[in-house]
Amino acid sequence: MTEELDKKDWRTRLHVIIFEADTRAGKLFDVMLIFSIFISVIVTMLTTVDTIEVKWHNELKIAEWVLTILFTIEYILRIIALRRPKRYIVSRLGLIDLMAFLPTYLELFMKGSKYFSVIRVFRLIRIFRILKLVPYVKQLEYLRRALYQSRRKILVFAMMVLSMVVILGSFMYLIEGADNGFTSIPRSIYWAVVTLTTVGYGDISPQTVLGQFLASIVMLLGYAIIAVPTGLISVEMSKSIDQIMNTQSCPDCGFSKHDTDAKFCKICGKKLN
């Protein structure tokens, strides 16, 4: 029975180390983890740089495999440490953890899949916990709320933009034609996106006078309508901050989304503290 207890203790201690960052061991584990993730992302990137790959081929391969095996062990430990590991396995965080080492094994069977391991970068989200960044998450809350509140306006705006690039791209295809690089409507739509968003690669650019005239209009349009999402987000963000800032709820009716300057509940008229 002591062994049973020991095993239980061992699991609890493991949980404290791996999943929490309040003890010294837990913090050390997290710092080392973040560091390993960072290194592994860099390693994956460097294996794609020819000059470096040729020179440090073996070193990179060893680093890759050491880190992959470490991540595999960590993943197994996480599952062991949990009483009901199923929820973790199917959670977003669990899937990202799995994707952090799986591609290296898959590489043995399918060339090129190893590069998917850059998905490890998402594991850096754990940095929020190690730095005790609860306020950061609250900040995200503002943003998420503002985006959620304006989701319909954003959708309508997105549909407008999409219709515009389809129509404008098709027109440019008719005006410029294949000889000037507008070889098909999809490619012309790609050009319209490049232009409307003011990216402007210049890999395709209008050559005819009429095409340049239409392109100028597209640019001015793109230059002007960027004001719309910016205005939307500004207004919603300002509103969402106002509502989050006054955190008290009405003692009578419980309504809680009061403005910062509210002295009385706007729903039932009760004085707020």
**In terms of CB distance, is 82 or 117 closer to its own copies?**
117
CA distance 272 to 252: 9
3-class secondary-structure state, position 22:
coil
CA distance 168 to 201: 17
Task: Give the phi and the psi of residue 54 in degrees, each rounded to 5.
Answer: -60, -40
**In terms of CB distance, is 86 or 271 closer to its own copies?**
271
Could you tell me which of 97, 110, 42 has the C-alpha nearest to residue 70? Answer: 97
Taking the complex as a whole, how short is the minimal distance between the CB of residue 248 and its own copies, in angstroms?
Answer: 12
CA distance 153 to 182: 32
Taking the complex as a whole, how short is the minimal distance between the CB of residue 50 and its own copies, in angstroms?
Answer: 7
In the numeric block, which tokens belong to residue 82? 């949990």
* 38 in Cβ contact with 122 (< 8 Å): no
**In terms of CB distance, is 77 or 233 closer to its own copies?**
233
Taking the complex as a whole, how short is the minimal distance between the CB of residue 141 and its own copies, in angstroms?
Answer: 10
CA distance 27 to 237: 35
**In terms of CB distance, is 81 or 123 closer to its own copies?**
123
Taking the complex as a whole, how short is the minimal distance between the CB of residue 112 and its own copies, in angstroms?
Answer: 7
CA distance 57 to 46: 10
CA distance 261 to 137: 25
Taking the complex as a whole, how short is the minimal distance between the CB of residue 83 and its own copies, in angstroms?
Answer: 31
* 188 in Cβ contact with 182 (< 8 Å): yes
Angle at 45 between CA 59 and CA 21, to 5 degrees: 90
**In terms of CB distance, is 82 or 191 closer to its own copies?**
191
Taking the complex as a whole, how short is the minimal distance between the CB of residue 264 and its own copies, in angstroms?
Answer: 3
**In terms of CB distance, is 47 or 82 closer to its own copies?**
47
**In terms of CB distance, is 31 or 124 closer to its own copies?**
124
Taking the complex as a whole, how short is the minimal distance between the CB of residue 113 and its own copies, in angstroms?
Answer: 9
